[in-house]
Amino acid sequence: MQPAARPVFYDLSEIFLNGGARVKIYGVVRVIAEIGLELQRSGKEVRFVVFSPGHSAFFEVHPCFDRLHDDDAVDLAIPTAAVPKKLRRVFHRHRWLRRMAYLLCAPLINARNRRRWDAAGMTLPRADMTTGLLVTVARPKFIVDYLGVLQQTDTRLLAMLHDMIPLHEDPAGSAYQNFRGDNHAILRAAAGIVANSAFTRKEILRFVASGLLPAPARITTIGLAQECRHSSALAARPAPPGAYLLCVGSAVGRKNLETVFDALNLIRQGGSTEKFSIVIAGPTGRRTRDHLAQPAYDAIRAQLIFFDKPSHAELLQLYRQACAVIVPTRIEGWGLPAGEALWLGTPVICADIPALHEASDELALYFDPESPAQLAVLITRIVGDQDFRHQLAMRICASRSRLRSWAQVADELFDEAQAYADTRNDALLPA
């Protein structure tokens, strides 16, 4: 007789709540989609669900990932007209004015969201998750909204946490308070926690030891992938001409783009005659534009090329044609651009921080993120020494088998989920 097993569900709520087909697939959303694609391909017994705040219920979906790498889209068969208006449902500091406003607004917004759902002709079945297991890779602010629903249906939660970065910010700020409260609730409610890197696991346990967070019932580590998949779509925009180094998703502040600017200044001041550009792929925020507008950067501004919102096909092209990819961030939970560049055989220059050593599998060049001078030396050598670039590329190629695929990540996550889904382990695992 086969042992009883809890049904396993995989959460696609963040893709749905961020706009469904309209959402840009990068960062955590890309992780959710890539793992979902592999779980579907594998034929494992996993059902896909989304949480509808207006109904306070999960609905079962049958996603199509065929356009993920060509059109940067996941088709949930939910029209954008049915996507709910966002409203934060969980607050961790008592403010009576906000509480009153929420009590007044929430019923109206929930009713409006249900009307949008009905008007869009939605007939998706509600997911019966009673005594099941929900596996989620979503960000904490999405998970906390449905913790109460999981408790009502005796559904276990296995949650991946990506970083503890906001806990390094101002403790008086709302970002800090919300993030701490969200993670506190998840750590208390989850049957198991998966960290996306050894560094993230260490961070979680450090904040537990300090008393800032409660201890998880169980915590394991499943590193993310370096794999960067092929796209059959054509890049709508060509890569910039000439030699360039690439920064992906970088900005001033934590992402530390200012150190790249300062390194360029040092190279120019040193009299280098090498001609190259820095391509910055992704949205450019006002803070970055304001920082770059300072007179100190007048001499280097012409070397910067901003490539806004690249498609997956365009990003592949940028990676492949770059002399190197620079990842200057001061703190990270993993570091997708570092791994993706290496997967495609492009040298990487990384900030010397623990998570990027994991993401780059020790195949990158490293610099102190607070030292523009160290970065300037590495940029100068990468751009000016073709033999050196070739040696780096050969080393990366020789180590390709060590790099992780999304199939590996999905398999490891499913294996971890099986420990919680198998009812024979109920006496051994946290509730």
State pTM to two decimals. Answer: 0.94
pLDDT at position 1: 40
Distance of CA 201 to the CA centre of its chain: 16
Intra-chain end-to-end CA distance of the chain, in Å: 25
Tokens of 101: 């406003």
pLDDT at position 40: 97
pLDDT at position 207: 97
- Three-state DSSP class for residue 326: strand
Which residues face 51 on adjacent strands?
Answer: 58
d(CA 66, CA 401): 26
Q: Which has the closest alpha carbon to 358: 243, 218, 196?
A: 196
d(CA 138, CA 183): 12
d(CA 418, CA 69): 29
Q: What is the pLDDT along the chain (431 residues), one digit of tens a residue?
A: 455 688 999 999 999 998 754 556 789 999 999 999 999 999 999 999 999 999 999 999 999 999 899 888 899 999 999 999 888 888 877 777 777 877 788 889 999 999 999 999 999 999 999 999 999 999 999 999 999 999 999 999 999 999 999 999 888 888 899 999 999 999 999 999 999 999 999 999 999 999 999 999 999 999 999 999 999 999 999 999 999 999 999 899 999 999 999 999 999 999 988 999 999 999 889 999 999 999 999 999 999 999 999 999 999 999 999 999 999 999 999 999 999 999 999 999 999 999 999 999 999 999 999 999 999 999 999 999 999 999 999 999 999 999 999 999 999 999 999 998 765 555 445 55
pLDDT at position 150: 96
Tokens of 258: 């200012």
Instruction: Tell me the chain's radius of gyration from C-alpha atoms.
Output: 23
pLDDT at position 252: 94
pLDDT at position 428: 46
Which residues face 59 on adjacent strands?
Answer: 50, 126
Residue 230 amino acid letter: H
In the chain, DSSP finds a helix count (H) and a strand count (E) of 15, 13
Taking residue 97's Cβ as centre, other Cβ atoms within 10 Å add up to 7
